[in-house]
Amino acid sequence: MARKITIYHLYPNNMNLYGDLGNITALEKRCLWRGIETEVVNVNVGDTVDFSKADILFMGGGQDTGQKIVASDLQEKGQAIREQIQGGLSALLVCGGFQLFGHYFKTLEGNQIKGISVFDAYTIASNRRLIGNVVTDITHNLADWKIEYGFDVTEKNITTLTGFENHSGQTHLNPGLLPFGYIIEGYGNDSNKQYEGARFKNAYGTYLHGSLLPKNPHLTDHFIMAAIARRYGVKEALAPLDDTIELEAHQASTTRAKTAKTVSL
C-alpha cells in the first residue's frame, strides 16, 4: 500500500547552522529508496500551519540572531506543537531547536528567551563552549522502539548514536525527564559528561549534528516507522536497506570521538 509522510521543517531560513539539511535529506532518501512518498513543508517565521498534518517535525540550530527571531514566533505555535507531541508526533530537535523546546534559554546577560516547554528542561548560557565528536549509549530507547514498531535495532548491533556537538548553552533536565542518550565520549548536555539530549514521548532533543541522521540510520528508520504507524495505524517493518556505508561512517565518527582531542573554548 502506498505510504506518504510529511516532514515539517521548522525555520529552515534561520535555523540551519550545522548541516541540518542532511537530516532532512536522510529522511527523504530512506523513504524514497523504499517507495515511501515524502513531502517537506518549510515552516518559517509568520507562517500559519496545521501541525496535525505533520508526521515528523524537525528543527535545527541557528546563530543567536536567528534564534531570537524564531523564539517569539515559536511561542505562537507552541500550543499546537505540544498537543501533537502529546499525541505521539515524532520530532527531532537539534541544538538550538532542542533548547527552544525546553522552558527557557538564559543568556549570558541574564535575559530569558522563552521556550515552548515540550521538555521539562532549561538551558543556561556559559562562557565555555563544548565542542567535539560525541558517542552516546541509547540502549534504553531501543526496547520501546522494538516493541512499538516491530523493528529490532539491536539486530544491526548499534546501540549508540554518534555526532558532533558545539554549544555554549548548558541544558539541565528536571527529575523525571529521560535523556536521549548516556555519554560514552564527549560532553553532552552540560560539562558533567553524563547525559545527552532529552526524550519526551516520541520527541527527541539532542546537541548532536554532523549531520546526525545520515550516519545513524537506525534513528532515521525509527522516525520513519513511527510516523507511518501513527499516520496509518499499522505497525509494519521497513524494507531493509544496505547500510554498509552508513555504518562505516558511524564507526569512523565513533573512532574519531575516541582519538581526536575534544576542545572546550
Choice between 62 and 205, CB closer to other proteins:
62
Of 209, 218, 222, 250, the catalytic one is 209
H or E segment and range at residue 100: helix 96-100
The whole-angstrom separation of Cα 55 and Cα 8 is 8
Q: Which of 14, 38, 160, 170 binds other proteins (CB under 8 A)?
A: 14
> Grid coordinates in use for 101?
523546546
Nearer to other proteins, 78 or 132 (CB): 132
CB of 252 to other proteins, least distance (A): 4
Measured torsion, CA atoms of residues 126, 130, 135, 137, in degrees rounded to the nearest 10: -10
**Is 95 known to be catalytic?**
yes
Element (H, E) at 30: helix 21-32
Out of 56, 59, 69, 227, point to the residue binding other proteins (CB under 8 A).
69
Among 10, 54, 57, 66, binds other proteins (CB under 8 A): 66
Binding of residue 245 to other proteins (CB under 8 A):
yes
Q: Which of residues 237 and 245 has its CB atom nearest to other proteins in the complex? A: 245
Report how far residue 238's alpha carbon sits from residue 89's, in angstroms, rounded to the nearest whole number.
Answer: 19
CB nearer to other proteins: pick between 9 and 103: 9
Tell me, by CB under 8 A, how many residues bind other proteins.
41
Site for other proteins in 82-141 (CB under 8 A): 129, 131-133
Count of beta carbons in the 10 Å neighbourhood of residue 53: 12
**Contact stretch for other proteins (CB under 8 A) within 74-82, 108-116, 222-230, 242-250:** 242-250
Please list every residue from 28 through 47 that binds other proteins, using CB under 8 A.
29, 44-45
Is 219 one of the binding residues for other proteins (CB under 8 A)? no
Q: Using the rule CB under 8 A, which residue among 3, 7, 10, 16 binds other proteins?
A: 16
Q: Say whether 209 is catalytic.
A: yes
Site for other proteins in 137-196 (CB under 8 A): 164, 166
| Residue 102 near residue 171 (C-beta atoms within 8 A) | yes
Element (H, E) at 256: helix 244-259
Determine the straight-line distance between the first and last CA of the chain, rounded to whole angstroms: 52
CA distance 28 to 68: 29
Name the active-site residue from 9, 31, 95, 250: 95
Options 3, 103, 199, 209; binder of other proteins; rule CB under 8 A: 209
For CA atoms 44, 50, 53, 56, give the dihedral sign.
Answer: positive
DSSP one-letter string for 230-248: HHHS---PPPP---HHHHH
> What is the length of the chain?
265
Closest approach, Cβ 18 to other proteins, in A, equals 5
Q: Are 67 and 106 contacting, i.e. CB atoms less than 8 angstroms apart?
A: no
Chain residues that interact with other proteins, rule: CB under 8 A:
12-14, 16-22, 25-26, 29, 44-45, 63-66, 69, 129, 131-133, 164, 166, 209-211, 214-215, 245-246, 248-249, 251-253, 256, 260, 263
Active site residues: 95, 209
